[in-house]
Amino acid sequence: MAITKNAKKALRVSTRRRVVNDSRRRLMKEAIKAVRKDVVSKDGKTLQADMAAAFKALDKAAKSGVIKKGNASRRKARLAKAVAKMSK
């Protein structure tokens, strides 16, 4: 357990950051799952909106440090590739 004043503050800060990071991670995963579901069901109506939401969630996660920039780029490329394959 934290003893010093600085350690107590660091614990409070890390707890707040963890909550925000968990929220961003959850939003990112849900957005990716929505796109994957659209690809499997070949639902073109909601696909564009879901793709935009997924790209936005990935970019925000990368910007805030939840995932690395290359990881976000790779995930976006794989989603785009799956969508392109579906549209053929």
How many domains does the structure of the chain reveal?
1
Pair of tokens at residue 60 = 């925000």
Tell the residue number behind the tokens 């929505």, with chain if given.
34
Q: What is the pTM of this model?
A: 0.86
CA distance 64 to 68: 9
Domain residue limits at 75 = 5-87
Supply the DSSP symbol for 45: T
Characterize 37-47 residue by residue with b for buried, 16 or more Cβ atoms within 10 angstroms of its Cβ, and e for exposed: ebbeeeeeeeb
Span 42-54, pLDDT tens digits: 888 899 999 999 9
CA distance 74 to 85: 16
The CATH number of whichever domain residue 49 belongs to comes to 1.20.58.110
Span 52-78, pLDDT tens digits: 999 999 999 999 999 999 999 999 999
